[in-house]
Amino acid sequence: RCCRRLESVTRDRTLWEIVDFRPDVLSLFHLKRYIHFLQPATRLIATRGPATSAATKHHHPSICKSFLRGVARNAPNLTILILENHIIDSSKLTLEDFPRSLQELRLQKCVMTHVFPDRSYFHRMNKSLPKLKILDLTDCDWFMPHSLLALSKSQSLEELVLTGCDVCDCLPYTSLAANFGFSALRVLDLRFTLVSDTEVSCFNRTTTLRELMLDAPGDTSRDFSITSYGGGGGGRVGGAQRLWAGGGPGQPHWNFQNEGVVIIEVGAYPRPVCRLESLVIRGYPGVTDTTLTHVADHMTYIRYLDVTGSGVTQQGIAQFKKKRPQVTIVPDIHAELS
């Protein structure tokens, strides 16, 4: 019990617009006790759960249906929900239980139990979360490649973060999703995944894509798969490699026989190529000066390029800066051609 004045202060609407319980770890029991404090003015809720590794999947769920329903009832205008290190039982908590008002959902380092291998957790996400613009699944090792198809059906999704997820060997799903879905996707984060040239190249046909992030994973047991030559003949069209992220207006395709490129087109669905403005390809030794030459000559919309830890040379960077001085390149090496 407390005095009425203190109770009135704790319920002030300005205190509950942004509700961030981190970095403390709250149990489900304690989270439920805060539900009645939420208000229509609440816009963001962030909470951290007890999961520290996949070994905790045998523990009790730290987020449940009744909690999310209480959130939706008391905070009908909630737009951002951040769940870190939580344990979710997919057989008891589905995507339909999340507030439909969400525009941003971050399930970072969450552990999922009772996952159905033949059914995506994001099935019908376009219906369950029709306003969702940002989805962050950082280090969610339960993510399955076929979920790309379910995600691609969303007509509102603008940013997809799959950092550290399993997106390797998923060409069929990637090709279909990129060619026929992701109608609003602008930002794609595939850092620290084992994605290859062939899979990434599918997003050449995601017309709305403006920012792509790739960073080599720490797994050195597998050869790096992002190169300047785009995976060989798998994407050849009519005997030539079709350049990824083509030129400006009136130049939808650039075909060059045996030219090295960042990544190459897969599929022939007639959609214009994307116009990347920001490209991050860090830590891939197979990315060389050939990539810089291609970007400088043909990616006319690019404004930011990060090739840290790649196989590019100081001479290649210097040549790129001479051709495209308005582009920010990292690392920015001040070198003069001899």
Is residue 276 included in any domain, yes or no?
yes
Q: Quick one: pLDDT at residue 219?
A: 58
**Mean pLDDT value across the chain:** 82
Give 337's Cβ-side CA count (13 Å radius): 9
Q: Answer whether residue 129 is part of any domain.
A: yes
Among 66-70, 158-162, 231-235, 302-306, the least confident range: 231-235
Range of the domain at 177: 79-88+100-330
Number of structural domains (the chain) is 1
> Rounded to whole angstroms, how far apart are CA atoms 156 and 257?
38
Rounded to whole angstroms, the Cα distance separating 311 from 284 reads 7
Rounded to 5 degrees, what angle do the CA atoms 176, 178, 183 make?
120
- Per residue in 160-194, pLDDT (tens digit) is 999 999 887 788 899 899 989 999 999 999 999 98
Count the helix, strand and coil residues of the chain and give each as a percent rounded to the nearest 5: 25, 20, 55
CATH number of domain containing 229: 3.80.10
pLDDT digits (tens, 9 = 90+) for 96-139: 999 999 999 999 999 999 998 888 999 999 999 999 999 999 99
> Is residue 154 a contact partner of residue 124, using CB atoms and an 8 Å limit?
no
Domain for residue 207, yes or no?
Answer: yes
pLDDT at 73 over 50: yes
* Contact criterion met (CB below 8 Å) for 192 and 164: yes
Residue 26 in domain: no
Q: Report if residue 14 sits inside a domain.
A: no
User: Looking at residues 2-28, what average pLDDT do you find?
Assistant: 80
Least confident residue range of 7-11, 63-67, 81-85, 298-302: 7-11
Does residue 56 form part of some domain?
no
202-216, 233-247, 266-280, 305-319: least confident range: 233-247
Residue 63 resides in a domain:
no
pLDDT digits (tens, 9 = 90+) for 280-314: 999 998 899 999 998 999 899 999 999 999 999 99
Amino acid at 336: E
Query: Is 21 part of any domain?
Result: no
